[in-house]
Amino acid sequence: MSLLFLGFQTAAVLAERNARRGFKDFLPSNVVLLSQASRSRTEIISHDLSEYGLTDRGLDVIVPRDASRDPRSPLRYHRGHPLFPSGSFLRGRGGIFIASPALSLLQLSLALDECSWLKLAYRFTGTFSLDESAEDGIVERPPLASTQELEAYFSSAAEIGIRGARRSCRLLRQVRNGSASPMESELEIALSRPRPMSGYGCVHATLNDQIRYDELARNLTGHLFARIDLHYQQARYGLEYSGRLPHQWQVPEDVTRQNALAHMGEETDFVTYRQLSDARELELVARKVTRKTRRTWRENLLLPLEQRQAFLDELLREKEFETGAGVLRV
């Protein structure tokens, strides 16, 4: 029986779905070769695609290098490397394999623009997935990988010459674990991105850092601890993303929490969507982060306002990619 290997955007959708289902559909495997990979469309559609909600249109199939590809087929064929590092594939039922989150990100470094890749990497190393049916548009789930795991995998892939591995290593330097929402990811990307790349050059924050309250703070808030969206630990300073629209029903709770953290010696500021989406306003946020973290603000290293604004516009633009497993939104 031939094995069906799925990668790229299709695998990304299935990997997130797998995490939301408690990692029950696809499990780690030791497979590193494509010697038994399905090659023809007949072999591919002979697998029970419907069990995983798959269709052949837009299905990203990994095939051996010597496999022929039918340009008229609705399938998307991708020729794979002769040998993959350990941890490259997850095994499902019926001989269906998907690229692991690490391999999927590596492959997508060749297919996605940089902003989309960074946002997806923050999502894979974070604790959320996008879900239009959820009240806030996101649902909580376990991380798919850590930056440490991704770095080890990309380095192994680079050693054996897999395309995209070195670019993935470079891009990964901009990624941090622990994001709990798209806007937290985008705020951290914009602030920490190097100035020559249209960013503001701030130090990286710790995302969703947990601060344990003392007795007074617990009495004020009714909670044992707080999580700060972007926490600059040594500076005891943090940023909280407050949303696109005013959420007045949360204001008393937010202020109480802010006061409790201030009592603990932690200063926090709120950042709105307007500030995140406006290069002038985000510069003011970055200036304060730089001052709080005792770095030197270097005005001369910033790119022109128009270039920084163009980057923010691109970063905040949501994109959709059709796959055989559904739509990948980033």
- Domain for residue 204, yes or no? yes
Amino acid residing at 69: R
DSSP states along 162-191: -TTHHHHHHHHTT--S---SHHHHHHHHHH
The answer to whether residues 98 and 143 belong to one domain is yes
- Domain for residue 226, yes or no? yes
Residue 233: its pLDDT value, please?
Answer: 97
- Domain for residue 192, yes or no? no
- Nearest alpha-carbon partner for 261 in 222, 294, 212: 212
The answer to whether residues 153 and 223 belong to one domain is no
Q: What is the pLDDT of residues 117-151, one digit of tens each?
A: 999 999 999 999 999 888 889 999 999 999 999 99
- Domain for residue 281, yes or no? yes
Residue 97: its pLDDT value, please?
Answer: 98
The answer to whether residues 81 and 147 belong to one domain is yes
Which residues of the chain have a pLDDT value below 70? 244-252
Q: DSSP alpha helices (H): ranges in the chain?
A: 8-20, 41-45, 101-108, 114-124, 147-159, 165-172, 182-192, 215-221, 251-263, 273-277, 279-292, 305-316
Answer positive or negative: Cα dihedral of 115, 116, 119, 122.
negative
Residue 251: its pLDDT value, please?
Answer: 62
The answer to whether residues 157 and 221 belong to one domain is no
pTM score, whole prediction: 0.94
Please state whether beta strands 76-79 and 96-99 pair in parallel, antiparallel, or not at all (unpaired): unpaired
Residue 247: its pLDDT value, please?
Answer: 45
Residue 244: its pLDDT value, please?
Answer: 56
For the chain, the maximum distance between any two Cα atoms, rounded to a whole number of angstroms, is 69
CA dihedral 168, 107, 88, 143 (to 10 degrees): 70
Residue 328: its pLDDT value, please?
Answer: 97
* Contact (CB, 8 A) for 154 and 102: yes
Residue 252: its pLDDT value, please?
Answer: 67
* Contact (CB, 8 A) for 106 and 157: yes
Task: Give residue 124's domain range.
Answer: 4-176+319-329
Q: Which CATH number covers residue 236?
A: 3.40.960
The answer to whether residues 50 and 156 belong to one domain is yes
The answer to whether residues 169 and 208 belong to one domain is no
* Contact (CB, 8 A) for 11 and 113: no
The answer to whether residues 324 and 283 belong to one domain is no
328 SS3 class: strand
68 SS3 class: coil
Structural domain count, the chain: 2
Residue 14: its pLDDT value, please?
Answer: 98
